[in-house]
Structure 1
Amino acid sequence: MTESLLDNVRISFDAGSLLVMNMVLGLVMFGVALEISFKDFKGLWEKPKSLLIGLCSQFVLLPAVTFFLVLFIEPMPSIALGMFMVAACPGGNISNFISYLAKANTALSVSLTAFATLLAIVMTPLNFNFWSTLYAPSSTLVQEISIDPFEMFRLVGLLLGGPLLLGMYINCLRPNVAVKIAKALKVSSLWFFIFLIVIALYNNRILFKDYILYVFWIVLIHNLIAFSTGYSVAKLFRLSVKDCKSITIETGIQNSGLGLLLIFTFFDGLGGMALLAAFWGVWHIISGLLLATFWSFAPVQKKNIA
């Protein structure tokens, strides 16, 4: 395999499929927002420490740690871009469900999802552009493609901000109806989104077969470091066991669906980026469920970590 091949190849994904992916991601975020109420934002004043630490872990520490990981392993430039994109995205839409299974602080998880989704409108494009241009090999690729940062801000705002506000508004008017719709919508849209990823990978199965082992180990290490970063910073600030679990999950479960959509929109499905984000989208579900299963059998301590 040659580095130049993966850095120049484009994953096949036509305009119609891209439109469907936009709609599905919007539905996924709408389903998440249906379970978020305006009172969830009050947590910033009621329990600011855990929220601020969680947001810092997601939007400051994870991108920074990813940058140093890239410096250490020196992946192909397009793979590095994929790592920066995933690290710049907010928490994934299944993080609340994983937190529930892990017996974590689900209220904190929901609040972090709400704040992170809102902040991602600015922080995702900002983090991606900052860290990707700081690493010379990936910076060269970004300059060659010449993406428009303001267009990325606009798209992220539409994909996240619109569904978030609409879902919360319906939750405010009809909370019982919103919860019922959310349960069905989140599951169905998530599976449909995974189906789109599988189709994209199948259409490019030769490329996927050639690079899967290379991408697998990078995603596994990156995901493990993301979980470790969330847990370490939460423990460092002596948060409760439940809060530690929630922050760990929110940091390790990233919205790779958003990352994939941005990759197909602005990078024309750049091979390394798309493969890494797609495989992350599959792997973080597996790793999250494994972690939740492990924690679900562990006794929950009510006192703060000593």
Structure 2
Amino acid sequence: MGSALTTIGLPVALGIIMFGLGLSLTLKDFTAVAKSPKAVAVALVCQLVVLPAVCLGLIVLFALPPVLAVGMMLLAASPGGTTAALFSHLFRGDVALNISLTAINSVIAAFTLPLITNLAFAIFLPGDDSLGIQLTKALEVFAIVLGPVVLGMLVRRWKPAFADRMDKPVRIASAVILAIVIIGAIVSNVQILLANIGTLALITVLFCVISLSVGYLVPRLFRVTPRQAVASSFEIGIHNATLAIVIAQTVLNSVELSLPAAVYGVLMFPVALAFGFLIRRAVPAPAAASA
């Protein structure tokens, strides 16, 4: 039962989530680079360059076992999660920027995720030709990440009224299915999860806190507006753990590789909420004035 939930349920849940993202997107959402070039450029550099470097540093600091180290890098390479826009909305961020960043990040991640993951395999598990993401597996990643999004966008283009009607049901369905699948995955792998949670809890919480902080502070250093910095913070700090778990378990056939993302996926929500209240209190006037 647990195995079926993982091998069938997780990809289905991710597909519905990414399809729901596509239903909310149009081609105009990809033009945010022209509207807010600095905010987008800074966020993308943080996401694609700074965070993998930070993650690598944490792995070395905590001396993680090789398989868990690769799992952490897979998590770091995953794009922002679809719930980033929800957190941004709750804490007065620029939700339009979130949607655009998620759209752009999802496209870029289809290429960068296999590259970063393969680099992690080369560093931590060298010489094992049975692992890693070869061309066929890279195409699987590409299809998993972009296929449902493109389908959702096509539905929105052809049937905008239908897309609007389906937005809420798809969100609810994806949340329910994802909850069932995660519970099933935890139950079926409870022993291996419990054996590693002590090793992974602190590093995943630290990674989440650093990701959120980098996503907020670096844009502010470059004089990006507070609302855009809040959006950037949640986009960078809330990784798509579901995507990382699906790739680990279905593309790479490894439960161990998915453990960092599984632990992170549970712990990131309270951390993100606490961080949201912190930055909301730190910059109430500019955020409220811009909202």
Q: What SS class does the counterpart of residue 286 from structure 2 fall into?
A: coil
Q: Which residues of 2 match residues 172-191 of structure 1 at below 5 A?
A: 172-191=157-176
Match of residue 199 from structure 1: 184
Match of residue 68 from structure 1: 57
Cα distance in 2 for residues equivalent to 1:210 and 1:159: 30
Q: What SS class does the counterpart of residue 143 from structure 1 fall into?
A: coil
Q: Which residues of 2 match residues 219-298 of structure 1 at below 5 A?
A: 219-271=204-256, 273-296=257-280
Cα distance in 2 for residues equivalent to 1:214 and 1:146: 23
Q: Tell me if the contact between 1:31 and 1:182 (Cα under 8 Å) persists in the aligned partners.
A: yes
Match of residue 7 from structure 1: none
Structure 1 letter corresponding to 2:112 = M
Identity %: 27
Q: Give the deviation of 1:303 after TM superposition.
A: 11
Cα distance in 1 for residues equivalent to 2:134 and 2:86: 32
Structure 1 letter corresponding to 2:46 = S
Q: Give the deviation of 1:144 after TM superposition.
A: 5.4
Q: Tell me if the contact between 2:84 and 2:234 (Cα under 8 Å) persists in the aligned partners.
A: yes
Q: Which residues of 2 match residues 121-160 of structure 1 at below 5 A?
A: 121-133=110-122, 135=123, 138-140=124-126, 143=128, 145-160=130-145
Q: Under a length normalisation based on structure 1, what TM-score does the superposition of the two structures give?
A: 0.86
1:294–1:233 distance in 2 versus 1, CA, 3 Å: closer
- Greater shift, 173-182 or 280-289, is seen at 173-182
Match of residue 66 from structure 2: 77
Q: Give the deviation of 1:201 after TM superposition.
A: 1.5
Q: Give the deviation of 1:243 after TM superposition.
A: 1.0
Cα distance in 1 for residues equivalent to 2:169 and 2:277: 23
Cα distance in 2 for residues equivalent to 1:190 and 1:155: 24
Structure 2 letter corresponding to 1:106 = V
Cα distance in 1 for residues equivalent to 2:202 and 2:5: 32
Q: Give the deviation of 1:27 after TM superposition.
A: 0.8
- Greater shift, 86-95 or 52-61, is seen at 52-61
Q: Which runs of 4+ in 1 moved over 6 A?
A: none
Q: What SS class does the counterpart of residue 128 from structure 2 fall into?
A: helix
Cα distance in 2 for residues equivalent to 1:261 and 1:94: 17
Q: Deviations over 1:104-139 (max 9, x none)?
A: 011110000110011111111112212442x3xx23
Cα distance in 2 for residues equivalent to 1:300 and 1:149: 50
Q: Tell me if the contact between 1:78 and 1:270 (Cα under 8 Å) persists in the aligned partners.
A: no
Match of residue 101 from structure 2: 112
Aligned alpha-carbon RMSD (Å): 2.3
Cα distance in 2 for residues equivalent to 1:241 and 1:282: 28
Q: What SS class does the counterpart of residue 284 from structure 2 fall into?
A: coil
Is 1:171 the counterpart of 2:156 in the alignment? yes
Q: Deviations over 1:51-84 (max 9, x none)?
A: 1111111111111111122122211112211110
Q: Tell me if the contact between 1:240 and 1:303 (Cα under 8 Å) persists in the aligned partners.
A: no
Q: Under a length normalisation based on structure 2, what TM-score does the superposition of the two structures give?
A: 0.90
Structure 2 letter corresponding to 1:181 = M
Structure 2 letter corresponding to 1:170 = V
Q: Give the deviation of 1:15 after TM superposition.
A: 5.6
Cα distance in 1 for residues equivalent to 2:268 and 2:136: 28
Q: What SS class does the counterpart of residue 242 from structure 2 fall into?
A: helix
Question: Can you give the 5+ residue segments of structure 2 that lack an aligned partner in the other structure?
Answer: none
